[in-house]
């Protein structure tokens, strides 16, 4: 479970991006975050992943206070979370395979196990044939699939995505949304920020909306 307990976030020199947020996300839930640009959606996702720390309040991920973790606890959090964030671009001078392998190298996986896992992840996103390709030769939708394979290669229990279909044409967006929903159907907790909640709301998603850093009722 993920719990926001009176969480506020103020960036240095900025105004409050999140204000006294109270939210619980249950294990296995599909949660869609809606809200205008600048509402605080990315900030909320970054707090779960400990890419930012709250200014006040607590963010608990499976009981771990991720704003105040010890350094030794970070790898544990990283292994349980898969991230598809806007700024986490692919390495364009590495193959698809190497891009997906990267998180496993970081987490110290044995090479033989890691290589097998990369192949499983690429199969899951429908890119089994593309492991030797360079990302630049792929379409936008295929590149997003590589980013998703990289996010799931550690078999996380929680998958977080920030506007994963924002720059895709509608047909690709529907394919990518279906892929995310398949991970949710397999039991993964899925949390997405999106402008298009119609990709998820007919499939049992809970929609919460942020406006100016506050949750709308
Ligand atoms: P959204 O994802 O809904 O567009 P964000 O979480 O990106 O919203 O931003 C919320 C607010 O925090 C905005 O006012 C934005 O300008 C501000 N903000 C986001 N990141 C930073 C940062 N690194 N430094 C300063 N202000 C930021």
Domain boundaries, the chain: 90-155
pLDDT at position 51, please?
92
Which is the closest atom of ligand 1 to the Cα of 163?
Answer: 2
| Residue 154 CB less than 6 A away from ligand 1 | no
pLDDT classification of 88: cutoffs 50, 70, 90: confident
Over 80: is that where the pLDDT of 217 sits? no
* CA 187 remoteness from chain centre: 15
pLDDT at position 160, please?
97
Greatest Cα-to-Cα distance within the chain, rounded to the nearest angstrom:
49
pLDDT in tens, 15-68: 899 999 999 999 999 999 999 999 999 999 999 999 999 999 999 999 999 999
Counting ligand 1 atoms within 8 A of each CB, the residue from 13, 21, 38 with the most, and so the one to mutate, is 38
Q: How many CB atoms lie within 10 A of CB 27?
A: 12
Between 217 and 200, the more confident residue is 200
Which is the closest atom of ligand 1 to the Cα of 210?
Answer: 3
Over 90: is that where the pLDDT of 75 sits? no
pLDDT at position 74, please?
85
pLDDT in tens, 127-181: 999 999 999 999 989 999 999 999 999 999 999 999 999 888 898 899 999 999 9
DSSP alpha helices (H): ranges in the chain? 41-48, 74-80, 96-106, 111-124, 140-152, 170-185
Q: Hey, what's the torsion of the CAs at 192, 195, 197, 199, to 10 degrees?
A: -90
pLDDT at position 86, please?
83
Which is the closest atom of ligand 1 to the Cα of 9?
Answer: 12
| Residue 39 CB less than 6 A away from ligand 1 | yes
Over 80: is that where the pLDDT of 87 sits? no
- Distance, in Å, from the CA atom of 111 to the CA atom of 34, rounded to the nearest integer, reads 40
Question: Model pTM?
Answer: 0.94
pLDDT in tens, 99-141: 999 999 888 889 899 999 999 999 999 999 999 999 999 998 9
Cα(204) to centroid of ligand 1, in Å?
A: 28
- Written as six digits, the tokens of 149 are 């394979």
| Residue 87 CB less than 6 A away from ligand 1 | no
């Amino acid at each position: 479970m993920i719990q926001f307990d009176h969480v506020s976030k103020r960036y240095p020199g900025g105004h409050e991006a999140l204000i006294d947020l109270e939210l619980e996300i249950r294990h296995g839930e599909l949660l869609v975050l809606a809200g205008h640009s600048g509402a605080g959606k990315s900030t909320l996702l970054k707090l779960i992943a400990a890419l930012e720390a709250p200014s006040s309040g607590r963010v608990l991920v499976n009981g771990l206070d991720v704003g105040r973790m010890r350094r030794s606890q970070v790898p544990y959090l990283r292994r349980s979370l898969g991230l598809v964030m806007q700024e986490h671009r692919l390495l364009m001078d590495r193959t698809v395979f190497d891009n997906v392998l990267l998180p496993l190298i970081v987490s110290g996986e044995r090479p033989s196990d890691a290589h097998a896992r990369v192949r499983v992840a690429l199969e899951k996103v429908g890119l089994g044939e593309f492991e030797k390709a360079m990302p630049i030769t792929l379409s936008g939708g295929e590149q997003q699939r590589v980013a998703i394979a990289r996010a799931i290669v550690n078999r996380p229990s929680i998958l977080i995505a920030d506007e994963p279909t924002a720059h895709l044409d509608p047909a690709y967006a529907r394919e990518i949304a279906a892929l995310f929903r398949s991970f949710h159907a397999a039991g993964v907790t899925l949390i997405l920020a999106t402008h298009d909640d119609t990709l998820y709301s007919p499939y049992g998603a809970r929609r919460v909306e942020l406006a100016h850093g506050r949750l709308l009722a």
